[in-house]
């Protein structure tokens, strides 16, 4: 996720600082450089600014698609990380939204935190 320092980091849409009392959304780097919305993919925004943004639907759909593809792509590194540390919260969130990928099922069945052999 983009690092946000309240009072300093600026909203990538309105360019005003993000303040602690405001509702803020942040996004990780999920678009390739050169994409027309790339500049927004590693940034924070006022939630209110997103609501009125002309590219809101496209941007949120892209973010959702990337997260879904990532979840359903089996990766040896991710499996090893889960073996060592359990299933991270962001994966649990994505499973709630997108469903269970086959590669993850074995870890889920073993009570979310597999025993080390």
Residues of this chain that bind Zn ion (CB under 5 A): 11, 13-14, 46, 49
Three-state DSSP at 25 gives strand
| Interior/surface letters 91-101, b for 16+ CB within 10 angstroms, e for the rest | beebeeeeeeb
**Residue number of the CB atom closest to Zn ion:** 11
12 or 94: CB nearest Zn ion = 12
Q: Taking the complex as a whole, how short is the minimal distance between the CB of residue 24 and Zn ion, in angstroms?
A: 9
Q: Taking the complex as a whole, how short is the minimal distance between the CB of residue 56 and Zn ion, in angstroms?
A: 13
Q: Which sign does the torsion angle of CA 97, 68, 72, 74 carry?
A: negative
49 or 91: CB nearest Zn ion = 49
């Amino acid at each position: 996720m983009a690092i946000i320092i309240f009072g300093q980091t600026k909203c990538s849409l309105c360019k005003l600082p993000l303040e602690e009392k405001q509702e803020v959304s942040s996004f990780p780097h999920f678009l390739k450089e050169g994409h027309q919305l790339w500049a927004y993919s590693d940034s924070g925004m006022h939630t209110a600014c997103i609501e009125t943004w002309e590219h809101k639907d496209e941007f949120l759909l892209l973010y959702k698609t990337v997260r879904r593809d990532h979840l359903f792509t089996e990766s040896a590194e991710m499996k090893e990380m889960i073996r060592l540390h359990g299933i991270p919260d962001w994966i649990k969130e994505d499973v709630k939204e997108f469903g269970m990928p086959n590669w993850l099922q074995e870890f889920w069945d073993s009570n979310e935190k597999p025993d080390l052999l």
